[in-house]
């Protein structure tokens, strides 16, 4: 299966649905209160962000999902920077509502995405990237079991012109069984 193919993924904790405009109302409500961190990329306009992600999907560069919990969309996540020829993908552009942060939702979603990447799409590397100053995101990525590859210094300009150092992490196929087991155990607690 291709990394770009839209598909619903589900487990006992969360459902990942291919992102559609019908998710806009739930996602607009879910983004309330998420303007707290200057180093994150929560969309200002959810309908515009959905349109952007769908255009990226149509160009073969992104595979976006709505994160659905208890029947409502509570966030977004994607396969991005897709390199199908080299079976390499990044999981990114993820945000979830405050109401589901520190619950099983993000762990369960990452388990679904990683399982799909490694076991269905035969990925040889799954990458995560985050802002140097986004310590909560860095800690969450490390809790997944990803290993830090390095820091891309002055990697991007922020919307306000500030320079962003990007921390790069990855999981490789031989690491995946231990990562999967760790995620499953966390969800059992």
pLDDT of 35 above 90: no
At 149-180, the pLDDT tens digits run: 999 999 999 878 889 999 999 999 999 999 99
Residue 39 has pLDDT above 70, yes or no: no
Q: Could you tell me if residue 172 is left (phi over 0), alpha (psi between -120 and 50 degrees) or otherwise beta?
A: beta
Alpha-carbon span 96 to 30, nearest angstrom: 7
Quote the percentage of the chain above a pLDDT of 70.
97
Stretch 3-23: mean pLDDT: 97
**Residue 36 reports pLDDT greater than 70:** no
């Amino acid at each position: 299966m291709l990394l770009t193919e839209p598909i619903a993924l589900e487990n006992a904790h969360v459902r990942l649905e291919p992102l559609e405009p019908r998710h806009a109302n739930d996602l607009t409500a879910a983004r309330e209160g998420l303007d707290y961190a200057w180093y994150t990329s929560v969309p200002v306009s959810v309908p515009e962000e959905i349109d952007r992600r769908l255009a990226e999907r149509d160009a073969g560069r992104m595979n976006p999902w709505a994160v659905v919990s208890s029947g409502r969309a509570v966030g977004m996540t994607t396969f991005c920077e897709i390199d199908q020829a080299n079976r390499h993908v990044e999981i990114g552009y993820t945000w979830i509502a405050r109401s589901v942060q520190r619950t099983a939702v993000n762990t369960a979603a990452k388990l679904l995405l990683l399982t799909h990447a490694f076991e269905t799409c035969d990925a040889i590397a799954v990458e995560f990237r985050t802002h140097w100053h986004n310590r909560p995101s860095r800690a969450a990525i490390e809790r997944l079991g990803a290993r830090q590859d390095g820091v891309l210094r002055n990697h991007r300009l922020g919307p306000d012109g500030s320079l962003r150092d990007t921390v790069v992490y990855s999981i490789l196929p031989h690491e995946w069984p231990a990562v999967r087991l760790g995620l499953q155990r966390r969800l059992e607690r």
